[in-house]
Amino acid sequence: MTNADIIFRESQQLAKNGVIEYTGKVLQFKDDAGNVIEVHETEPIHTYNAWKSLGFQVQKGQKAVAQFTIWKHCNGKVDEETGEEKPGKMFMKKASFFTARQVQAIA
């Protein structure tokens, strides 16, 4: 399961629980059997660093709307003797998520 899949599923659950809002748009997907499934789109949630990379700053004092585990990539180290780069690894790490209502554009 990718981070996009994890975040999508968690955001759907958060919206069902009333923690975040729906946008009013309906998304359509086809399942493995070819059946069309309609799902309500939720407002975007991102980590602190993801919002920062998008040009936004989480407002001071804001608390995360959710915390759940996602995949994190760790780059491999370079062997000083041979100069070869050892492969990186992936691991699960708890991350905090914020909504668009909790950020402001970086000026």
Beta strands in 31-107 (DSSP E): 36-42, 45-46, 56-58, 66-74, 89-99, 103-105
pLDDT digit string (tens) for 32-88? Answer: 999 999 999 999 999 999 999 999 999 999 999 999 999 999 888 888 888 888 888
Q: Please compute, for residue 104, the number of CA atoms within 13 A of its CA located in the half-sphere on the CB side.
A: 5
pLDDT of residue 88: 86
Region at 51 (left for phi over 0; alpha for psi -120 to 50; beta for the rest): alpha
CB proximity list for 4: less than 8 A, separation 6 or greater: none
φ/ψ of residue 6, rounded to 5 = -60, -50
C-beta separation of 102 from 65 below 8 A = yes
| Segments forming the whole domain that contains residue 78 | 3-105
Q: What is the 8-class DSSP label of residue 21?
A: -
Q: Label residue 107 by pLDDT band (50, 70, 90).
A: confident
Structural domains counted in the chain: 1
